[in-house]
Amino acid sequence: MLVAHLVPGYFITIQSKSRWQPNWTVRQCALLRLAALGSTIAPDLDVVYNVIFHDFFNHSTLWTHSLFPYISILFIWWILRQSRRWPYLQMLAWLIALGGISHLLLDVVAHGTPLLYPLLVTMVGVPPQRVVEGGVWAYLTDPIFLFEPFLLTLAAIHWLLHNAHDQRVRIIGLIILIAGLSIFTTSFLLLLPVLQETITGFILLPDGLGSVHQATDGLITATIIH
Q: Where are the alpha helices (DSSP H) in the chain?
A: 6-16, 26-41, 45-53, 67-83, 87-110, 129-140, 147-163, 167-203
For residue 163, tell me if it sits in a domain.
Answer: no
For residue 173, tell me if it sits in a domain.
Answer: no
* pLDDT value at residue 99: 96
For residue 70, give its domain range.
Answer: 3-141+208-225
Report d(CA 130, CA 36) in Å as an integer.
32
* pLDDT value at residue 37: 96
Q: Can you tell me the mean pLDDT for 191-209? A: 68
For residue 20, tell me if it sits in a domain.
Answer: yes
* pLDDT value at residue 215: 38
Task: Supply the mean pLDDT for the chain.
Answer: 85
For residue 109, tell me if it sits in a domain.
Answer: yes
* pLDDT value at residue 162: 94
pLDDT digits (tens, 9 = 90+) for 133-185: 777 888 899 999 999 999 999 999 999 999 999 999 999 999 999 999 999 99
For residue 54, tell me if it sits in a domain.
Answer: yes
Report d(CA 131, CA 216) in Å as an integer.
22
For residue 146, tell me if it sits in a domain.
Answer: no
For residue 174, tell me if it sits in a domain.
Answer: no
Total structural domains within the chain: 1
Q: Can you tell me the mean pLDDT for 37-60? A: 79
Count Cβ atoms within 10 A of the Cβ of residue 209 and give its class: 0-12 exposed, 13-18 middle, 19 or more buried.
exposed
For residue 14, tell me if it sits in a domain.
Answer: yes
